[in-house]
Amino acid sequence: MEAVTSAMEKLTTAMKGGAKEQVDTGGNLQDFMGHPLETNAQRSGGNLGGKVVRTGAGVTVTSNKDPDHPMRAVCWEAPRKIAVEQRPRPLITDPTDAVLRITSTAICGSDLHLYLGSAPGVQKGDILGHEFMGIVEAVGPEVRNVRPGDRVVASFDIACGKCRSCGHGAFSGCDSTNPSKDQEMMYGARTAGLFGYAHVTGGYEGGQADYVRVPFADVNLLHVPSDLPDNKLLFLSDIMSTAWFSTDLGQVGPGMNVAIWGAGPVGLLAAHCCQVRGADKVLLIDNHQYRLDHAAAKVPGLHTINFDKEKVKEVIERILPGGPDVCIEAVGFHYCKSMIHAAMVKTLMETDTADILNECIYCCRKGGAIACVGVYVGLVNGFNIGAFMEKGLTMKAGQTPVQKYWHQLLDMIKSGKLDPTIVITHEMPLEDAPHAYKIFNDKTDGCIKVVLKTGVGRSDMVGPPSGPPTTA
């Protein structure tokens, strides 16, 4: 209990912006050529200011750098402040690494938690981005499955492929790739390192850049065919896999009824997946009418609910008396609906809101299931445990083990069964990332999903770079 209290204190301190992340730095620091990494530290210049960090399992977090070859990278500066900066290109650092030349990268709803400064542990200058694909530029001597020139998609979670969690297919829970002691204290264990995310998930450099280093390339890269455009493949990296994962967590099957909270890219693709899995009625809830209208146009037969105009429970009962079999949470911890949770989050009496989960519990049919893929980071007050228990509900949650699903999903994209492009409203060059973050967060300009193109490799760019949105 003491550990939890102390972790909570750390989390709230981090949210006030005062925390120093604790990391395992390993002992014997050498690169795979046997060169001491300490002397390479000045070449690092990465997310951790040049300090070489290794996980307990020996994975180097900070990549070596090529100071002679600059690249562009999207960096976090402060809440709501993103800048495109020049950085040295990453080099192969561990023998199982690949370096990718990025062609397409996207902004995810999870990036908005960082953008707003709501998630703890992001630092000024961190390179963002965890949804990306490109061409393999170089590989370390122990990489077997990919070669320079291969076209690949990267998983947002960094898995080793060898530990107990990876052995169970729980790649997002990899035991080896996250050096954060703070996360261990907060959660009782460390989950996988993530690209371009907060330091509690490792502090790895992200893929909203021209180049990125991918540890354990054999596990975290998926070889993709050359006859499909980037936009059809990119979201295997994250949101396509996450949407499918949500329906897998809820065991959505033929004839079932599903309600989905959040008409962002994840919720919209989850609705698409529900229909592909043979669900009967699918309801999508949000308060941005343009997102609901877009979803209804892309997913035939979808029922939409605007919670600013209608009472969610009443509409659900009218369409699905007794409630849905499955409720999917695709919103996340920073969207407070009630004044009370907004006040508690603001005053750091809790880190996350229980508003959406409570609504799922309230609306779900007795004995039904809740699948939570919206991100939560800490503690909530006022969780309706009574209703959850008395109604006999189950809840499953998690960061997506992308590598578990991407082969199957790639086949479904190839056959035309799944079409991830239905979420794309904007394509822009990488330089426009600050504007892209703003419209995605503010939900202006009809924005649902932005794809950023680097222009350094294969490009599927359509229309003028900064022109009006192009709907796929």
Ligand X SMILES: NC(=O)c1ccc[n+]([C@@H]2O[C@H](COP(=O)([O-])OP(=O)(O)OC[C@H]3O[C@@H](n4cnc5c(N)ncnc54)[C@H](O)[C@@H]3O)[C@@H](O)[C@H]2O)c1
The least distance separating Zn ion from the CB of residue 236, rounded to whole angstroms, comes to 12
Site for Zn ion in 137-166 (CB under 5 A): 159-160, 163, 166
Q: Is 129 in the site for ligand X (CB under 6 A)?
A: no
Q: Which residues share a beta bridge with 371?
A: 328, 396
Residue of the chain from 44, 110, 304, 358 that contacts Zn ion (CB under 5 A): 110
| Residue 64 · residue 89 · CB < 8 Å | no
DSSP state of 14: H
Q: Is 454 in the site for Zn ion (CB under 5 A)?
A: no
Q: Is 335 in the site for ligand X (CB under 6 A)?
A: yes
List the single partner that 264 binds among ligand X, Zn ion, none, CB under 5 to 8 Å by kind: ligand X
Q: Is 247 in the site for Zn ion (CB under 5 A)?
A: no
In angstroms, the CA 246 to CA 279 distance is 14
In angstroms, the CA 414 to CA 184 distance is 40
**Closer CB to ligand X, residue 32 or residue 383?**
383
**Closer CB to Zn ion, residue 351 or residue 403?**
403
Residue of the chain from 129, 134, 265, 378 that contacts ligand X (CB under 6 A): 265
Q: Is 330 in the site for ligand X (CB under 6 A)?
A: yes
Q: Is 400 in the site for ligand X (CB under 6 A)?
A: yes
Q: Give the closest residue to 132 by CA, choosing from 160, 98, 176.
A: 98
List the single partner that 176 binds among Zn ion, ligand X, none, CB under 5 to 8 Å by kind: Zn ion
Residue of the chain from 174, 305, 331, 393 that contacts Zn ion (CB under 5 A): 174
- Per-residue binding string, ligand X, 292-311, x by CB under 6 A, is ---------------x----
Total chain residues near ligand X (CB under 6 A): 33
List the single partner that 166 binds among ligand X, Zn ion, none, CB under 5 to 8 Å by kind: Zn ion
250: left (phi over 0), alpha (psi -120 to 50) or beta: alpha
**Closer CB to ligand X, residue 70 or residue 434?**
434
Site for ligand X in 207-246 (CB under 6 A): 238-239, 242
Q: Mark the segment that binds Zn ion (CB under 5 A) among 33-41, 109-117, 198-206, 384-392.
A: 109-117
Site for ligand X in 245-264 (CB under 6 A): 261-264
**Could you write out the three-class secondary structure of 119-150?**
CCCCCCCCECCCEEEEEEEEECCCCCCCCCCC
Which helix (H) or strand (E) element contains residue 326? strand 326-329
Q: Is 356 in the site for ligand X (CB under 6 A)?
A: yes
In angstroms, the CA 123 to CA 285 distance is 33
> What string of DSSP letters covers 148-178?
TT-EEEE-SEE--SSSHHHHTT-GGG-SSS-
What are the phi and psi torsion angles at 164 (to 5°)? Answer: -60, -45
In angstroms, the CA 246 to CA 413 distance is 18
| Residue 296 · residue 304 · CB < 8 Å | yes
Instruction: Catalog residues that contact ligand X under the rule CB under 6 A.
Output: 108-110, 112-113, 238-239, 242, 261-267, 285-288, 291, 307, 330-332, 335, 337, 355-356, 373-375, 399-400
